[in-house]
A and B are shown apart, each in its own frame.
Chain A
Amino acid sequence: MNRDELRKVVLEELSGIAPDIDLTSFDDSANLQDEYDLDSMDALNLAAAVHKRLGVNIPDQDYARMHCVAELIDYLEQRL
């Protein structure tokens, strides 16, 4: 799976949790909490959804370090 495909999957899962986010003008490097109003419960749910979809388990202590979609994609890219 290349980076573009990975991004598509992550954004699909993100929109399942927070469909209020407008994906057409999405900024991968924007902080998900500050810019897109995700709270910590949303963040946990996103990690679980990505795990289910891609089979990549993100240990919580790793996930806690990711604040934007670009960081999440970087992480997944190394593990797929």
Chain B
Amino acid sequence: MSANLPDYEQFCRDFSWDRARRELAWMGNGQLNIAFEALDKHMHTDAAERTAIRFLARDSETPVDISYRALNQRANRFANVLQDLGVKPGERVYGLSHRIPDLYAAVLGTLKHGCVFTPLFPAFGPEPVRQRVEIGEPAVLVTSKRLYQKKVADWVVDKPSVRHVLLIDELDEAPEGTLDAAALMDAASGDYATRAMDPEAPALMHFTSGTTGKPKGVLHVHAAVVTHHMTGRYVLDMHPGEIYWCTADPGWVTGTSYGIIAPLTNGVTMVVDEAEFDAERWYRIIQNQKVALWYTAPTAIRMLIKLGPELPRAHDLSSLRFMASVGEPLNPEAVIWGQKVLGRPFHDNWWQSETGGIMISNYAALEVRPGSMGKPIPGVEAAVARRTEDGIELIDEPNETGELVLKKGWPSMFRGYLHQEEKYRSCFVGDWYLTGDLARRDADGYFWFIGRNDDVIKSSGHLIGPFEVESVLLEHPAVAEVGVIGVPDEVAGESVKAFVSLKPGYHPDEALRKELMALARKRLGPAVAPRDIAFRDELPRTRSGKIMRRLLRARELGLPEGDTSTLEGTGE
């Protein structure tokens, strides 16, 4: 099979976003809808009867196939449910669910109805969910009975914006205050006229974490589908009808852009596995479902490597044609392991919630440089810059470290942070978007990730804001101060560690350490809570009273402490 992008340099020269726009179906009058590109456009083609979702339930590996036509109809039913409930286009719908087919129908039905969809990660504890509901004030929360009871029921009555809680799993009876959405969908019509939207109309909002303050709602518009479709086709090399498996959860941006939208607009069959990571099951899925395209994450790859080469060798993985990875930089050993054990290299790529889609990548048709995130996608200009007093200065010399910046104007660029216009504006200098990631570019134009420009922690591919974790620990009566940092972890990239100083009268001991861990895990969930807590008599602070996380980290890792001139107790 020949690559959709056979010659990178040539393709970049010929490429324009107008050309990419012409690859979409559109709905007339310059209007479009992500869900129309994902589903409706296929209805009058051979693709309608093709399998869109090959679903593997947690306790069974017998696949349930759902065709494009059936998924379209189910999404229509969900759109009709929203309509019947009086939910208006433009209102927000949040999803908090494990990977079941009706979650996908709900996402697409939400878009069909012109509402804005926000995914939430089902491994979040109640606190991150509550906080994100407070910030975004959704009209509808789509979830399951179990997640509702564990993470939502206690506080949702105090959130008047949430007019409907829709439970999409099979129910005997919906708890008070919720609706049985699966039953409502069964009863609703399977016909719905997908709304034609202005390309700049909001479609998706993803939450991301910053260094300080609350999580930010990253806004994306329907035109983002131009990037989703183009990168699915030319970067992940999707060919219609191929079997594709994105292991990212749809509770994050990767699982939405590349676990729902791009595969459907490109007409591939997506494997959806309800179960969590299980190495043996994963290899079986690749073998039995004949997965050709596999998009996964460094943490998962490193776990597979730890389990040794026997498992993959016991399976027939010859169906794999193209493998890609995203979430954090993929170490060179992992790329080489792919080549040696699976017979294919992993193609690392880089992007973030704000970019909406892949921005820098390795390609099927280009030499893979292990450890590098690759080269910018056609249509995107990337550079390395240093911040100056009055803006930024691009760095032309190769191999100099600076902040990774992207020239504005690609279709899936975020259009705002919800309610934080100033913060949004501060991400741009002139024509450039400042990513907050540090990188260098080698003489051949490959980019290499160096680290974050701030204190945000990247664990298992997810951004974790230290402030979110600190706030929860500070609620404990024994805690005086907290500093949360990321420490290197051979599997997760970084893991969350908290340093705590106690109020007078409290003693640091194992029982208290466990109590704090329990509090954090209950409130934040295991993906966000610290894996380790250490007690300190006092934490390094600036003279203005801010905890110096950078210094905590340097001390923890035995790094040079750098500039400590603003440290409390030093200097003047």
Contact = CB atoms under 8 A, between A and B. Distances in A.
Interface in B494-545: 495, 514-515, 517-519, 521-522, 525-527, 531
Interface string B293-306: 00000010001001
A39 B276 contact: yes
B491 A41 contact: yes
A29 to B, nearest CB: 14
Contacts of A33: 276
A39 B279 contact: no
B495 A41 contact: yes
B514 A16 contact: yes
A45 B521 contact: no
A39 B526 contact: yes
A37 B518 contact: no
B521 A37 contact: yes
Given A37-B526, A60-B307, A19 B492 contact: no
Contacts of A18: 517, 521, 526
A61 B514 contact: no
B310 interface: yes
Interface residues of A, number: 21
B526 A42 contact: yes
A44 interface: yes
Interface in B452-491: 460, 489, 491
A57 interface: no
A79 interface: no
Given A61-B307, A64-B280, A65-B280, A37 B525 contact: yes
Given A18-B526, A33-B276, A64-B278, A41 B307 contact: no
A39 B522 CA distance: 13
Nearest to B311: A61
Contact of A19 (B279, B515, B525): B515
Contacts of A19: 514-515, 517-518, 521
B277 interface: yes
Contacts of A60: 279, 306-308
A37 B123 contact: yes
B527 A61 contact: no
A20 interface: yes
Given A39-B526, A41-B531, A61-B307, A15 B491 contact: no
Summarize A's interface: helix, strand, loop or mixed.
Answer: helix
Contacts of B517: 18-20
Nearest to A37: B526
B308 A38 contact: no
B277 A40 contact: yes
Contacts of B518: 19-20
Interface string A19-43: 1100000000000011001111110
Contacts of B280: 61, 64-65
Nearest to B278: A64
Contacts of B519: 20
A16 B513 CA distance: 9
B491 to A, nearest CB: 6
A38 B526 contact: yes
Contacts of B525: 37
Given A19-B514, A38-B526, A39-B527, A44 B303 contact: yes
Contacts of A42: 526
A60 B495 CA distance: 20
Contacts of B526: 18, 37-39, 41-42
A44 B276 contact: no
Contacts of A44: 303, 306, 491
A45 B492 CA distance: 12
Nearest to B303: A40
Nearest to B513: A19
A20 B521 CA distance: 6
Nearest to A22: B518
A67 to B, nearest CB: 8
Nearest to A67: B278
A45 B531 contact: yes
B276 A40 contact: yes
A34 B491 CA distance: 22
A71 to B, nearest CB: 13
Nearest to A42: B526
B279 A61 contact: yes
Contacts of B299: 40
Nearest to A16: B514
Residue in A17, A37, A42, A65 with the greatest tally of chain B CB atoms within 10 Å: A37
8 contacts: A19-B517, A19-B521, A20-B518, A37-B526, A40-B303, A44-B306, A61-B307, A61-B310
Given A34-B58, A39-B123, 19 more contacts: A15-B514, A19-B514, A19-B517, A19-B518, A20-B518, A33-B276, A37-B123, A37-B521, A39-B526, A41-B489, A41-B492, A41-B526, A44-B303, A44-B491, A59-B308, A61-B280, A61-B310, A64-B278, A64-B307
Ranked 9 nearest A-B pairs via Cβ? A19-B514, A19-B518, A20-B521, A20-B518, A60-B307, A39-B526, A40-B277, A20-B522, A19-B517
